[in-house]
Amino acid sequence: MRRKTILSLLSAVLILIGCASSPKPSIQPTVPPLDSSLAADCKALPEPPDGDYDELTGWMVDVIGMYGECAARHKTMVRVWETL
């Protein structure tokens, strides 16, 4: 009878030791929510003007600005995707 008691206690202790020494679960990194403007489509480019050189230059500056905004959004999306 004494042998059963000792074996039972030994089994219980070994089970508790095994549970205590198991590796901790890894913590998954939290991904912050994306800004909804990042998924927006790029604006359609306006038609080039038929006017003089000054109007065409102004149109080109506007197009470069629109491209810069769109490229920045896409670059941010790629950076976020790479971190996942």
Q: Where are the domains of the chain?
A: 34-84
What percent of the chain clears pLDDT 70, i.e. is strictly above it? 82
Average pLDDT, the chain: 79
Residue 12: C-alpha distances to residues 18, 24, 71 (Å): 10, 21, 62
Residue 68, burial from CB neighbour count under 10 angstroms (0-12, 13-18, 19+): exposed
Question: At 25, is the pLDDT very low, low, confident or very high (cuts 50, 70, 90)?
Answer: confident
* Separation between Cα atoms, residue 57 and residue 46, nearest integer Å: 13
Amino acid at site 18: G
In the chain, alpha helices (H): 2-20, 53-83
Q: What is the pLDDT of residue 72?
A: 85
Confidence of residue 61 (pLDDT cuts 50, 70, 90): very high
